[in-house]
Chains A and B, each alone.
Chain A
Amino acid sequence: MFYKKYNSGWHKGKNIFLPSGKVLTVDNKESIDGWEWSETPPKEYLNWKSEQELNDGLGDDFFDSIL
């Protein structure tokens, strides 16, 4: 799977079509434009994902909005 970190989170995908015309797939695991192939999710990605799930249902927006 390809991973790319951006400002507020992560992109993840199996097939990446770049503006240059290049296509990143399981057959082309080139690292380009911030995209990196990884067989297992990067730890930093997992931490971010975990925080996202924690926010589901009990996120700051929830408490902010009931005050």
Chain B
Amino acid sequence: MGDKYFKARKEFEWKRNPQWPSIPVDDDNNNKIYMIYAVIEDNPNQLGVTVREDSIINWGDGASTTQTISSFTTIHHTYNYATVVAPILQLPDGRNYKPVLFEGIIEPSYYFYLGDIAPGFDGTNNVLECVSYLGDGVSVTGSDSSRLLFGNNSFPVLMEHVKIKSPNDDNVGDMFRYAKSIKKMELPTNFFHSGLTSIGLFGRSASFNGHNFGNININDNAPSFFSYADSFIIGDIVFGAATTTINSMCIHSNNYAFGGVSGPNVNNATYAFGGTVNNGANSIGLIDLPALTNSSNMFRRSQMPEVEFVNCANITDADDMFRDCFSIQKIIMPGLTRGVSVQNNLLTEAAINAFFTSLGTASGSQTINVSNNPGAATCDTTIATGKGFTVIT
């Protein structure tokens, strides 16, 4: 049902700055990563990358560093704006910068981590473009084969384009955090594969310009990914057995669409698709979370027109589940035994009756509020009262 209603901003055609250095084509050695780095006037211009021995970093200003340490260690470089030979360009905020081509030649199967593993010296917010040819484009398993980019202490706020050849093996946590300038993303089709066990803070506060991430498999618990993010599309999301809480998963995110959501053991979904600011989810598909017990604030402030669950029999807390929602035209909650409010929405008489029909038998004193909906005055309240619910119209 997502495409029926959701009108995400389309990814507009990205125009690469012709004055940036060219990114070399893939040589199929599976060991290179390139970036366009902005050496900015009056900026520390300090970059850290974390690699193991036998990796070579050509920083793009004529300097080169060969990693000699056998452990996963950060090497640093400071660019000198005055001496870098490159055209002087301007960032959108008016600061002058000189673009340089960073090349990392990474020992195969080892990590490449853009940024310091400790806070304070990463400078990755100067990255304008990143193209990773690391990995063979297919494999996602094997020790030390994670290809982490833009994680933890590195925030690519200026990055306009990212292209990644190979998926990380198990961890995409923190990736693209604060990526506020993305215009084009090219990720491998199996980027979100079933082996991912860490996705926390992926995309946090990023603006994705309507990028469609496709289907997602995740077996992480409490995956607070896409929180505070803007304008993205996700296909079906399948949580594995390890995921029991999706509490605050997309909290405070804005203008986004989900396909179907399923997970056999998810019991806590508070604020999963909502928040107290922003518009939350604009569209969501079939929700199959049979173990769900706590759905309070699950869709608060969201704007999706249809909400259809497969099974709500185990929900024990639905307080404020649809608070500040105003767009719901269809709501189906099979087996729900607890009270819930869907007031101030767009439910017709037929839609309210279908909602009532989907309910289970009330567990004690429970109240359903359908007031201020187009069909409130004419709906058949006996469908719900016959199941023990009190109904507010």
| Contact B392 A16, beta carbon cutoff 8 Å | yes
Neighbour of B389 across the interface among A15, A19, A34, A58, CB < 8 A: A19
Interface stretch among B10-18, B88-96, B101-109, B271-279? B271-279
Q: Which residues of A contact B271 (CB under 8 A)?
A: 61, 65
List of B residues within 8 angstroms of A64 by Cβ: 248
Residues of chain A within 8 A (CB-CB) of B319 are: 8-9
Give the A-B pair count, Cβ closer than 8 A. 68
Question: A12–B371 Cα gap in the complex (Å)?
Answer: 10
Quick one: CB contact mask for B351-365 with A, threshold 8 Å, 1 for yes?
A: 000000000001001
CB distance from A8 to the nearest CB of B (A): 5
In angstroms, Cα B393 to Cα A21, docked, is 14
Q: Are B252 and A65 in contact (CB under 8 A)?
A: yes
B314 within 8 A of A: no
Q: Does B381 contact A (CB under 8 A)?
A: yes
Q: List residues 3-52 of chain A with CB under 8 A from any CB of chain B.
A: 4, 6, 8-9, 11-19, 21, 33-34
Q: With A61-B297, A62-B252 in contact, do A16 and B227 touch (Cβ < 8 Å)?
A: no
Interface residues on A, range: 20 to 34
B392 CB contacts on chain A under 8 angstroms: 11-17
> Which residues of chain B come closer than 8 Å to A6, judged between CB atoms?
339, 365, 367
Decide if A65 touches B367 in the complex (CB within 8 Å): no
Chain A residues with Cβ below 8 Å from B49 are none
Contact between A4 and B367, CB atoms less than 8 A apart: yes
Contact among A11, A19, A65 for B251, CB-based, below 8 A: A65
**A18 pairs with B385, CB closer than 8 A:** yes
- Nearest CB in chain A: distance from B340 CB, A: 11
A14 touches B371 (CB 8 A): yes
Complex contact B390–A18 (CB within 8 A): yes
Q: Does B149 contact A (CB under 8 A)?
A: no
Cβ B365 vs Cβ A33 within 8 A: yes
**B367 cross-chain contacts in A, Cβ below 8 A:** 4, 6, 11
- If A8-B319, A65-B248 touch, does A17 touch B276 (CB 8 Å cutoff)? no
CA distance A64 to B367 in the complex (A): 30
Interface residues of B in 355-393 (CB under 8 A from A): 362, 365, 367, 369, 371, 381-382, 384-386, 388-393
B224 within 8 A of A: yes
Q: In the bound complex, what is the Cα–Cα distance between A59 and B324 (angstroms)?
A: 15
- A34 to chain B: which residues have CB within 8 Å? 365
Would you give the shortest CB distance from A5 to chain B, in whole angstroms? 11
Which chain A residues lie closer than 8 Å to B382 at the CB level? 17
Contact of B390 among A12, A17, A58, A59 (CB under 8 A): A17
Q: A21 to B224: give the CA distance in the assembly, Å.
A: 45
Bound complex: CA A58 to CA B367 (Å)? 28
A59-B276, A61-B275 are contacts. A17–B391 as well, Cβ < 8 Å?
Answer: yes
Interface residues of B in 270-320 (CB under 8 A from A): 271, 275-277, 297, 319
Report the Cα distance A57→B381, complex, angstroms.
34
CB < 8 Å neighbour of B276 from A4, A8, A9, A55:
A55
Q: From the candidates B252, B369, B388, name the one contacting A19 in the complex (CB within 8 A).
A: B388
Contact status A61-B248, CB under 8 Å:
yes
Assess the A17–B381 pair: CB atoms within 8 A.
yes
- A6-B365, A15-B392, A61-B276 known; 14 new pairs, CB 8 Å cut-off, are A6-B339, A8-B319, A11-B369, A13-B369, A13-B392, A15-B371, A16-B390, A17-B393, A19-B362, A19-B389, A61-B271, A62-B252, A62-B277, A65-B251
A sample of 15 cross-chain residue pairs with beta-carbon separation below 8 angstroms, ordered by A number, consists of: A4-B367, A6-B367, A11-B367, A16-B391, A17-B382, A17-B392, A17-B393, A19-B362, A19-B385, A19-B386, A19-B388, A19-B390, A59-B276, A62-B277, A64-B248
Q: 6 tightest A-B contacts by CB?
A: A13-B392, A17-B381, A17-B391, A15-B393, A19-B385, A19-B388
